[in-house]
Amino acid sequence: MAALIPALPALARVIRPSTLLEPARLRRRLGLDVFLASETFQHTGSFKFRAAYHVASSITQNRVITASSGNFGQAMACACQMLGKECRVVMPDTSAAVKIEAVREYGGTVELIDVKRKGRQERVRELAAADPEAYVASPYDDPLVIEGNSSLGEELGLLTRSLDCVLTPVGGGGLASGLVQGLRRSGRGIQVFGVEPHVANDAARSLRAGRLLANDTEPATLADGVRTLSLGRHNWAILQDGLTDIVEVSELEIQEGVRLLFLYANLKVEPTGALGVAALLARPDLFRDRSVCCVVSGGNVDPGVFCRILGG
């Protein structure tokens, strides 16, 4: 069917600008001057495309290998498809069928593995050894990823409205470090706050300790986009003094964030995308009398998960 679809109009920029929303009813409920930068309508439905496209268009290699069960795999497959490159995505064989289908739809080759028998990184190393001319792409720990994500920081830095601080989910730190880097270019002194689930607070602990700490196991948070063991090293180097603070939120606050965005902003967001609003619920006094932008990182969520949250 793909051949039936005309190409996107030549005038369209490749990276879609973030969708800026100022929902009156959400603002009233939170009692804060908040607006949203939603990446749910970015190519492949999350901010990850910013990084993936920058990586794929910057490297000389024509083949990319990556491990991702989530948004980065889709984003890299799509970016490679647009650029006429090949993309292999290593995914656990327990991944949801819709996620595997999405990567394939964007032309990616899916390598399913039994993670009990072989780790994802191990399989990536095998594939890389067999194809030394391929580029092995990390979803966050790569200066090219950070630079790609910095485009969102630049967009926000150019806004003519008042903006004191930006709230962003923190997993591997790719988005947060990109925002810090992009916002610095505006010279406006806009602060960046990270947001982490309590149960996945490795970055908050790292910031307090002044050194990079990791979770022992993949954290069991609803926000599947931040189920990482630790920040990447390149990300930590930027976030160590680039983040103003990290707000930790409960799983219930994440759910309430998803619900509020549905009810009062007409937005469909994945749990990770609601972390910013969850932080405003958790620590409203931190943001009183300030202009706050919540980055809604993505919208890819299964109907079943979504409706359980809405009904909960």
As beta bridge partners, residue 167 has 193, 294
Least distance to a second copy, CB of residue 97, Å: 13
Least distance to a second copy, CB of residue 91, Å: 18
Q: Which is nearer to a second copy, 146 or 274 (CB)?
A: 274
- Overall size of the chain counted in residues: 312
Question: What separation in angstroms does the CA of 134 have from each of 55, 107, 309?
Answer: 13, 17, 40
Q: Which is nearer to a second copy, 191 or 306 (CB)?
A: 306
CA angle 72, 75, 78 (to 5 degrees): 150
Q: Which is nearer to a second copy, 132 or 311 (CB)?
A: 311
Least distance to a second copy, CB of residue 126, Å: 31
Q: Which is nearer to a second copy, 154 or 164 (CB)?
A: 164
How far, in Å, CA of 143 to CA of 127, rounded? Answer: 22
Least distance to a second copy, CB of residue 89, Å: 17
* CB environment 153-171: b (16+ within 10 A), e (fewer): bbbbbebeeebebbbbbbb
Do the Cβ atoms of 65 and 127 come closer than 8 Å? yes
Residue ranges binding a second copy (CB under 8 A): 1-2, 4-6, 8-9, 11-12, 19, 21-25, 27-29, 31-33, 40-41, 43, 45, 78, 102, 105, 160-162, 259, 262-263, 265-268, 291, 299-300, 303-304, 306-307, 310-311
How far, in Å, CA of 84 to CA of 56, rounded? Answer: 10
Do the Cβ atoms of 39 and 18 come closer than 8 Å? yes
DSSP strand pairing (191-197 vs 165-169): parallel
Q: Which is nearer to a second copy, 25 or 125 (CB)?
A: 25
Q: Which is nearer to a second copy, 125 or 161 (CB)?
A: 161
Q: Which is nearer to a second copy, 9 or 189 (CB)?
A: 9
- Per DSSP, the residues of 224-260 read GGG--SS--HHHHHHHHHH-SEEEEE-HHHHHHHHHH
Least distance to a second copy, CB of residue 35, Å: 9
What stretch of H or E contains 112? strand 109-113
CA angle 90, 91, 97 (to 5 degrees): 140
Do the Cβ atoms of 34 and 26 come closer than 8 Å? yes
Least distance to a second copy, CB of residue 307, Å: 4
Least distance to a second copy, CB of residue 262, Å: 6
